[in-house]
Amino acid sequence: MGELDLAFVQEQEHRPKLSIIEAEGIPEIDLSPIFHHEVQDQSAIDSLVKKIGSACKEWGFFQVTNHEVPLSIRQRLDEAARLFFAQSLEEKMKVARDEITPIGYFDKEHTKNVRNWIEVFDFFARDPTLVPLNCDENDDQVIQWSNPSPKYPPKFRNIIEEYIKEMENLASKLLELIALSLGLEAMRFEEFFKDTTSVFRINHYPPCPSPELALGMGRHKDAGALTILAQDEVAGLEVKHQISQEWVLVKPTPNAFIINVGDLTQVWSNDEYESVEHRVIVNFEKERFSIAFGVFPAHYIEVKPLDELINDENPPKYKPFNWGKFLINKKSDTLKKKNVENIQIHHFKIA
């Protein structure tokens, strides 16, 4: 990575002057009640659902333990990721994303929107993934986005695909718990993900020469239904607490996953649960790795508040919108700097 330049510094939000809570932070939730039981303990499951609901409402974030994802799979992926990013830039650029296929490798030096001290490799859960051709509401044409196939490290693609299967299983369990916490049928969200557009991503934050001036990832909210994040032992993720509006540093918990609800869950719940701002700080001495899985529905899904949560006292707060067109609009912003605000769910808010 090159030295910090003035343009990069100016594009940061310059670390808001809020105190950081060095405390317990986001809730930690034990998922064991939904595993290891021939006859499940309903009271334990009810308690788990209540904890999930409280965490979603107060924080929009929580950590899960006893999640049944084998540690060995995560370790293999971590080792492969470190080998991949240790390659020369020339080698990594052989699987770089472009304006035709916005998936693969990229870093802050090779995007048109230079904001973050980070390099990334991403990969679709389905290959190919179908998405709309363009954002025109009257155009139903679709195209295929396909994954890159890095030659190094060996079996990198296979390791990623194995990890994705585990993430999809975990996501399904989490969506059931979130549905129950909203008073819905457990399988209420299942229909949205039959033809998923979910995305896997490895984030690498190299040591930064001026960490006080930069962010690994600027403040943002996630677009999908959920994000499942694994982070290494180097802390960096900060979450803005809903009530105090202070930034909370999420301390790494070995073998835990960090879960946050995204924009789609906010819309589906009609603002019962909110997609929360978060950011990543960087380190002067240590590199940091994290692995994110964005849980996205099919491209053809119309996103709107769920009928079961709407009534005269709680009318819909969002107009319907198409997920696929929303997604490709978001993706195009990664490589193209625009003169208008990046599309957000508040653009569909009903006044």
Extents of the domains making up the chain = 6-348
What per-residue confidence (pLDDT) applies to 331? 78
Q: What is the CATH number of domain 6-348?
A: 2.60.120.330
The whole-number mean pLDDT for each consecutive block of 10 residues of the chain, a chain of 351 residues, reads: 42 42 73 78 93 96 97 97 97 90 82 70 96 87 94 97 98 98 98 97 94 89 97 95 90 95 98 97 94 98 98 97 93 56 89 84
> Which ranges constitute the DSSP H helices of 63-220?
71-85, 89-92, 156-181
What per-residue confidence (pLDDT) applies to 13? 44
Distance CA 195, CA 185 (A): 21
What per-residue confidence (pLDDT) applies to 23? 42
Distance CA 50, CA 20 (A): 27
CA 74, 80, 81 angle in degrees (round to 5)? 85
CA 61, 66, 67 angle in degrees (round to 5)? 65
What per-residue confidence (pLDDT) applies to 320? 97
